Amino acid sequence: MTTLTRESIVAAIERARVVAVIRIKDPARLESVAMALIEGGVTAMEITMTVPGAVDLIRGLAPRMPAGFLLGAGTVVDADTASKVIDAGAQFIVSPVFRPDVVARCRQHNVAALPGCFSPTEILAAWDAGADIVKVFPATALGPQYIKDVLAPLPQVKLMPTGGITLENAGNWIRAGAVAVGAGSSLLDAQAIADGRFDIITNNARRIVSSVTGARVS
Annotated catalytic residues are 46, 135
| CA–CA separation, 33 and 164 (whole Å) | 21
- Crossing angle of helices 30-39/54-61, nearest 10°? 50
Q: What is the DSSP letter of 162?
A: B
Query: Which positions ≥6 away from 184 have C-beta within 8 Å?
Result: 20, 21, 22, 23, 162, 163, 165
Cis omega (within 30 of 0) for bond into 138: yes
- 3-class DSSP state for residue 160? strand
